[in-house]
Amino acid sequence: MAHDFDPKAPPPPLLGINPMFDYSQVPVGLSAAAVGQFLIACLLVVQLWLAPAVVKAWSSKQWALACYPIVVFAASGLGMALRRGWGWWLTCAIYYYVFFNIPVALVLWTTRDQDKAFNLLDHLIVAGLAIFLLTYLNRPELLRFIRFGSADGRAKPWMRLSPAVVGGAGAAIRLVIELTKN
């Protein structure tokens, strides 16, 4: 009987294969999230560029309000590209705010704008994208590549919860402001 396996023989060489290679690779989605944030900032800039008559008539307050989302999305993209905890936090806070604004839009539609159409499909698509991105960004497999400011470099439970609180508070503030307008 011929045997191909000799238990006393040394194992064959791995030929440069690192079993931890896949584990150590940064997920592509992390870079895609950063690029997506930059693209949204660029689209907001293009939106300003396409309305020169309106933009020329703006005051400095209107310019600041128009540039605020551009700066926030660009900063979020930069933080995600650098894989910093503040970039992750800012991105999550943005999308929690977007998610929590969907019920705000529904409340405003039912109390103020019932004569206008409520585009449910748009809101469902936005909610689906926000949920997808938030679910992806909060995966433990992804969070280990982001450097947080804690002693061990990991997100503490309160760090992971705080963007949801800030996003919900921002949506609540928006609701109060919109309901108190005349």
What is the per-residue pLDDT across 18-74, written as a single tens digit (0 to 9) for each?
777 777 888 888 999 999 999 999 999 998 888 776 777 788 888 888 889 999 999
pLDDT digits (tens, 9 = 90+) for 136-161: 999 988 898 999 988 888 888 899 99
Enumerate the domain spans of the chain.
Answer: 29-82, 83-182
User: pTM higher than 0.85 for the full model?
Assistant: no
108 contacts: CB under 8 Å, gap ≥ 6? 175, 178, 179
Average pLDDT over the chain reads 88
Q: 173 with 103: CB under 8 angstroms?
A: no
Q: Which amino acid is present at 73?
A: F
